[in-house]
Amino acid sequence: MAAYTPDIEILGQRTIVVVILSFVLLLAMLVGLICFAHLRGRKRGSTSPYTKQPMSLGIDIAISIRTHIEGFMASLPQPENEPFDLMKAAVCRETGRIFPHCVTPAEYIHLKWDFLSKRYTGKYVSWGSLTETQKATLRVCHESLVGFQTEMSCPKPLPNEIDPYYALIKPGPLYVDLSSKVLLGWKVVPGTDFEVLVVQKPHFETVEDTI
């Protein structure tokens, strides 16, 4: 019996080594899954075009607030401002700006600066890049610009060239398609910290039409 003791000891040692290695492997896999879930949860795809920071999902907005946002959208001129599915929207955490139609069923965010032209077709420039004459013309052609950001706007024309300072001002930037005189700008949903992108068509096509 004693002759077999070394073999039994070796077998026992090997078993212990296998158990320890299996435990370490499982632990490493668990840590890897936790890290992956954490990173995916933080980034979730595209970052905010205004802050370059991770965004949250529209599904995380309280149901009562969601109903309030949908009601505000429904109160705007239609059909260019029809309510959207917040379950498929992403939210900039720092500004509260809501970006519709950019979240996949797997809750991954796909968002680029073409979100403006996708929201409403046009070639948009920043309100702050317009001359005083252009601004005056637009004010005359639209019934009202109340709620839009017309006081502090980036002087750079291209929306994606916005300076960080202007990107964080509330409400967010106002954009203009000079050929159609359509306004596309962020407005604060009353009673909330959230903002939605609102389309406003001109009431008059030209200044002459106002006479």
More confident site: 14 or 74 = 74
What is the rounded average pLDDT of the residues 140-166? 96
**Which of the two residues, 42 and 96, has the higher pLDDT score?**
96
Q: What string of DSSP letters covers 131-163?
A: -HHHHHHHHHHSS--TTS--SS--SSSSGGG--
Q: CB within 8 A of 22, min separation 6: which ones?
A: none
Separation CA 95–CA 46 (nearest Å): 16
pLDDT at position 38 is 47
The H-or-E segment that residue 107 falls in is none
Q: CA–CA separation, 96 vs 99, rounded Å?
A: 10
Instruction: Give the mean model confidence (pLDDT) for residues 30-46.
Output: 58
How confident is the model over 102-137, as pLDDT tens digits? 999 999 999 999 999 999 999 999 999 999 999 999
Contact 174, 54 (CB under 8 A): no
Q: How confident is the model at residue 5, as a pLDDT?
A: 59
pLDDT of residue 206: 78
Instruction: Average the pLDDT over each of 40-44, 97-101, 177-181 and give the range with the smallest value.
Output: 40-44
Instruction: Respond yes or no on whether the N-terminal peptide bond of residue 77 is cis (omega within 30° of 0).
Output: no
| 79 Rama class: left (phi>0) / alpha (psi -120 to 50) / beta | alpha
Report pLDDT for 102: 96
Tens-digit pLDDT profile for residues 1-16: 445 556 677 766 777 7
Given a cut of 50, whether residue 164 has pLDDT beyond it is yes
